[in-house]
Amino acid sequence: MTPAITNAAACGPVPTLSSLLSPVEPDAFFEEYFERGPLHVARGEARFFGDVYDVAELEATLDVGARHVEQFAMTKGGETLDRDAITIERRSVRSRYTGKPPLLVIDPRAVASRFESGYTLLIKDAASFSPRLQALCNRLQTDLESYVQANVYFTPPRAQGFALHHDTHDTLILQIEGTKTWRVHEPAVELPIETQPYAKGEHGACAAAPRELTLAPGDTLYLPRGFRHEAATAQSRSLHVTLALLPLRVIDLVEGALQFAAVSQVELRRALPRGWHLDPAFPDRFAAQVTAQLARELRGACVRAARDLVCNDAFAVTRTVADEIFANLDRLAAAGPDSTVSLRGEAPFLVRDRHTSVQVVAAGKAVSLPIACAPLLERLRRGPATLAEVDRILPDAGRSLLAMLVTDGIAAIG
């Protein structure tokens, strides 16, 4: 029997950035800590993340996610087990007659045995198996204007899963169960990108003593990318969720702008001259030439087009949450004038004014609507509205627009 995965709505409201950082205000977080330095919020409230994740959901994930073997790993002291150590071949029913090959799946028994031997279990992109985590990721994508991915770490007592390293993404760590001590060092590379992974031989030893932070259940830890760290448990096992934060960076916008500039500027599309790599004067000459070209081309229209491109790319990898979609469609069908509609905070989306139309960009899609829909979308952004208001603002198509927003998981009917 397949275990049930907990319904997101049944576990209370989806946490916001404000609640995860509380008592630190989001404005203070961005001004004092974001991309600058670690923040440890010690709460003394063991059940603070009780509705976010727990060991029971991890155990269910080992079953429902068993076929996705690439999303599971077990590590000890920085060494990762071969996949064969935690998987098993599952034969198809009547495979002798059907000829179907066996499936490679995660074996929970092997995972438990390795856990008892000191190995940490890592579930990558755990939100793909958890509506609760996916709703949290989507909520934070709106609050942070960053793509957010949830990874789960389950570490046995007196163990360390990973050696000293740095990440090329920011992390927001939610301590669910047990305690874990983090040793955090200053960066060897400030805000590294993906092509700058940590290499002990290249970056050398940490000169200064680390900052030691012990996370208890209910604590939050923020680490900017580049801060070197390692973590270990003491006498108890530890479960934490690491939210990998991937904001849109300057380099992302510049690369997008270059793509658009090359469409209108033929000089950017020309082949490099023969022998360019052997000409010692070429680098300086090329730098001057390209700088002048980009100064002419990278103007407002080009950057606006690049903005839309990189935002669309971010939404293309966002997943929607199916929770309550069918219930909301039923409520919409039975709704009266006094029924309310509101936008769901855990559903990131953008609205773009195209002068003659309005574009709604949501998880994996972008839809162009008549400009007449803009006033209703703006009204909903200000807060819940009654269906009577909807009918007044958009009398002919308001209900159809609501049906689209409900189907996309963007709106809910009260």
CB neighbour list of residue 354: distance below 8 Å, 6 or more residues apart: 368, 371
Same domain for 272 and 229 = no
Same domain for 187 and 42 = yes
- Does the residue 4 lie in any domain? no
Q: What tokens does 242 get?
A: 């690491």
Q: Taking a C-beta distance cutoff of 8 angstroms, is the pair 133, 58 a contact?
A: no
Same domain for 109 and 254 = no
Q: Taking a C-beta distance cutoff of 8 angstroms, is the pair 213, 230 a contact?
A: no
Instruction: Tell me the per-residue pLDDT of 248-270, one tens digit each, with 9 for 90 and over.
Output: 999 999 999 998 889 888 889 99
- Does the residue 2 lie in any domain? no
Same domain for 336 and 283 = no
Banded pLDDT at 206 (limits 50, 70, 90): confident
Q: In what order do the strands lie in the sheet with 385-386?
A: 385-386, 340-343, 411-413
- Does the residue 254 lie in any domain? yes
pLDDT given for residue 245 in this prediction: 97
Instruction: Tell me the per-residue pLDDT of 303-348, one tens digit each, with 9 for 90 and over.
Output: 999 999 999 999 999 998 888 999 999 999 999 999 999 999 888 9
pTM over 0.85: yes
DSSP string, 145-209: SEEEEEEEEEE-TT--SS-SB--SSEEEEEEEES-EEEEEE--SSSS--TT----HHHH----SP
Q: Which residue has the higher pLDDT, 215 or 354?
A: 215
Q: Where is 317: in which H helix or E strand?
A: none
Residue range of the domain that includes 261: 250-316
Same domain for 189 and 171 = yes
Measured between alpha carbons, how far is 319 from 410 in angstroms, rounded to an integer?
A: 12
- Does the residue 1 lie in any domain? no
Same domain for 373 and 238 = no
Q: Where is 103: in which H helix or E strand?
A: strand 103-106
Overall average pLDDT of the 65-88 stretch: 96
Same domain for 256 and 296 = yes
Same domain for 149 and 39 = yes
Distances 324 to 8, 133, 135, 331, 354 between C-alpha atoms, Å = 9, 16, 12, 10, 31
Same domain for 181 and 112 = yes
Same domain for 256 and 230 = no
Answer with the one of 316, 333, 354 that is the final residue of a domain.
316
Could you tell me the CATH number of the domain that includes residue 407?
Answer: 3.90.930.40
Instruction: Tell me the per-residue pLDDT of 164-177, one tens digit each, with 9 for 90 and over.
Output: 999 999 999 999 99
Measured between alpha carbons, how far is 153 from 375 in angstroms, rounded to an integer?
A: 45
Please give the tally of structural domains in the chain: 3
